Amino acid sequence: MIEIYLLEELAVFSKAGTLAKTAEQLNVTQPTVTRGMQKLEDEFGVQLFDRQPNRIALTETGKLAAQEAVALMLANQQLIDKVQNFDQSQRTIQIGSVLPGPLILLRNSLKQPAQNLQIATTLTSPAHTESLLSTNTYTGIISNKALSTSDIGSQYLGTEILAVNLDKFMYHANQSSVSFSELKGLSFIVLDDIGPWRQIIQQEIPDAKFLYQAQRDAFAEITKYSDFPYFSTKLSRTDATFFEQFDNDDNRIRIPISDQNAHMKIYFNYLKKQKQRVEPIISQIQQIWPV
């Protein structure tokens, strides 16, 4: 059986292009790499390298071997990650989300969070939900889409309703609700990482400008000393520590948005074999979900 370090040398060489760079990346000596290359050829029983006085290059067979080595190294790392993630999943419940609101709700409203519960600090990609669950990277992922496969199930948590915070002197501030179209042409201060809400506001509000802020402190500071409208939901506002930075002197009125796209159903997705472990957490989330 070919030793893994030899395949690693071949994989690195195929990208680095020289023995010197390969040795540097692997933090070994160049003679060590040279011996490894020779041993690898002996193991395969074929010529993998075209050796010239001042250079060494892969033969066509060597290129094929290098491609397979790269794939094997990737599979090897995936195996390690999968085993480590599975071990972690047996000891902790890790919850991710494609939206910020549910994570804020969990961090601020769970009265007695389990000691083995870990809540993500960054959002997950909607496109990766299934793979993140199947590899046990997360025990559950909160999303605006319910997954249903042979291995994955989901439960409805509640609906997140988008609202806009408008200057109280604006005409629309006197309304009980407002539509996206009525916000046409306005400029908004917006947190950068808001998941699927970002695409919705950009598509639904005509001629609007969005001033995205990556830092929550910068968002709060600009909001406090300006009249720019901003978005929030009842979930996001459970972070009292954040919103109190500008709420005391805020001249804005919070108005729900009436459009159907502003009412987002939220689901908890999980591996079916983990159902018994996550059901108590799902029940807690459903109980604290704002109405």
- What's the CATH number for 160-263? 3.40.190.10
255 and 175 Cβ atoms separated by less than 8 Å: yes
Whole-number pLDDT of residue 207: 96
User: What are the boundaries of each domain within the chain?
Assistant: 4-88, 89-158+264-288, 160-263
Distance CA 125, CA 132 (A): 9
The two beta strands, 93-97 and 117-119, are parallel
Chain segment 115-172, per-residue pLDDT in tens? 588 899 999 999 999 999 998 889 999 999 999 999 999 999 999 999 999 998 888 8
The whole-number pLDDT of residue 217 equals 87
Alpha carbon of 34 to those of 22, 37, 229: distances in Å? 10, 5, 64
Does the fold of domain 89-158+264-288 match that of domain 4-88? no
pLDDT along the chain (291 residues), means of 10: 87 89 90 89 90 88 91 86 74 90 90 74 94 91 95 96 93 91 96 95 96 91 90 90 70 93 97 91 93 83
* pLDDT for 75: 87
Beta strands, E only, 88-138: 93-97, 117-119
Rounded-to-integer distance, Cα 110 and Cα 242, Å:
17
CA–CA separation, 184 and 147 (whole Å): 34
Q: Supply the pLDDT for residue 113.
A: 57
Amino acid 131: pLDDT: 92
Q: How far, in Å, CA of 230 to CA of 166, rounded?
A: 7
Phi-psi region of 51 (alpha: psi -120 to 50; beta: other; left: phi over 0): beta
Residue 283: the pLDDT is: 93
Q: What is the CATH number of domain 89-158+264-288?
A: 3.40.190.10
Spatial separation of the C-alpha atoms in residues 147 and 127, rounded to whole Å? 11
Class of domain 4-88: mainly alpha
